[in-house]
């Protein structure tokens, strides 16, 4: 008999992610703790949950049966938690929000002081990541995503459009010259996204454009790409919101760079909690007040 739900929580994370290290990162503990919890569960149930392989952990037949039961327990506990949240009277507590850094840096973070002023009892845990976290499993309460979710059981709302342009540092342009048309990019360097960046229209468009550039550098985060462009590494595709306030100047302003729609997403049960609704209202207002600045250059 399982006496501690946490053992099942650690088991679920390893089963879903396939390794102790990945589960440890998701759970914000060290891998030894994850291994200890899994071993404890196996000892308690007198079964072997995983095959330990060089390429990761794989569920055994017993592990697959346990996974079905563990997911039902998780579903029931999360349902109970959301039901209790819906009965709360105070607008207070922790709300976890996830968004890419291209959204959190120019839109959410600058507006956080206003949220704290209005709702001092709410604590925001903001996860700036391109990883799609599960709202059903409460890995986050609210998400701002750059593509409309396809899951039918989530509440979605379009909140803004993120406009993009091409930018470069003045010293780079002094050294390499300013392109007068996209055809000139073959003589330039590009600051590109890494392959694992989400495939939105903007990144796909620029990656095809950057293929013409003989020299390029690829980075994961928007801050890193902006810094590389400011250091004179090449031409970068950035949102107007991120480029504003930097030392970069726009190039080829006549080029129609694809924009990105921003969608706020939450689970219907989470949206019943007053603190979550307060944060959702805050995100809508923050995006609405910034919407004009998001679509065009300064």
3-state secondary structure 50-85: EEEECCEEEECHHHHHHHHHHHHHHHHHHHHHHHHH
Domain of 19, in residue numbers: 5-86
108 shares a domain with 78: no
Q: Is residue 115 part of a domain?
A: yes
Are 133 and 274 part of one and the same domain? yes
Q: What is the predicted pLDDT for the residue at 37? A: 87
pLDDT attached to residue 120? 92
How high does pLDDT run on average in the chain? 85
> Do 81 and 227 share a domain, yes or no?
no
In-domain check, residue 136: yes
Of 288, 293, 193, 205, nearest in space to 252 by CA: 205
166: pLDDT strictly greater than 60: yes
Which SS3 state, helix, strand or coil, does residue 252 take?
coil
Q: With bands split at pLDDT 50, 70 and 90, how would you rate the model's confidence at 169?
A: very high
pTM comes to: 0.68
Selected residue with higher pLDDT from 130 and 168: 168
Is residue 264, in this structure, part of any structural domain at all? no
15-58 pLDDT tens trace? 889 898 888 888 888 888 888 888 888 888 888 989 988 888 99
49 and 125 assigned to the same domain = no
Dist. CA 256–CA 139, nearest whole Å: 36
Residue pLDDT, tens place only, 64-105: 888 888 888 777 776 666 665 555 556 789 999 999 888 998
**Structure-block tokens of residue 160:** 């803004």
Residue 159 in domain: no
Q: 99-122 pLDDT, tens per residue?
A: 988 899 888 998 899 888 889 999
């Amino acid at each position: 008999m399982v006496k501690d739900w946490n053992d099942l929580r650690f088991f679920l994370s390893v089963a879903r992610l396939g390794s102790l290290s990945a589960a440890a990162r998701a759970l914000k503990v060290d891998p030894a703790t994850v291994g200890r919890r899994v071993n404890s569960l196996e000892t308690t149930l007198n079964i072997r949950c995983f095959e330990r392989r060089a390429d990761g952990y794989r569920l055994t037949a017993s592990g697959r049966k346990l996974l079905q039961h563990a997911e039902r327990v998780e579903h029931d506990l999360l349902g109970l938690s959301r039901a209790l949240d819906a009965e709360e009277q105070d607008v207070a507590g922790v709300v976890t929000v996830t968004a890419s850094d291209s959204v959190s840096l120019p839109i959410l973070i600058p507006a956080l002081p206003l949220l704290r002023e209005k709702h001092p009892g709410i604590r925001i845990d903001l996860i700036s990541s391109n990883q799609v976290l599960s709202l059903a499993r409460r890995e986050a309460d609210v998400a701002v995503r750059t593509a409309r979710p396809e899951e039918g059981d989530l509440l979605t709302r379009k909140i803004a459009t993120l406009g993009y342009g091409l930018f470069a540092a003045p010293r780079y342009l002094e050294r390499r010259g300013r392109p007068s048309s996209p055809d000139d990019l073959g003589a330039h360097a590009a600051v590109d996204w890494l392959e694992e960046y989400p495939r939105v229209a903007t990144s796909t468009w620029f990656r095809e454009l950057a293929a013409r550039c003989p020299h390029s550098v690829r980075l994961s985060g928007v801050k890193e790409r902006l810094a590389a462009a400011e250091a004179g590494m090449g031409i970068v595709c950035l949102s107007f919101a991120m480029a504003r306030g930097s030392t970069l100047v726009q190039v080829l302003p006549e080029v129609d760079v694809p924009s990105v729609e921003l969608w706020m997403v939450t689970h219907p049960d989470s949206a019943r909690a007053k603190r979550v609704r307060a944060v959702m209202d805050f995100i809508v207002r923050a995006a609405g007040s910034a919407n004009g600045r998001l679509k065009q250059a300064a």
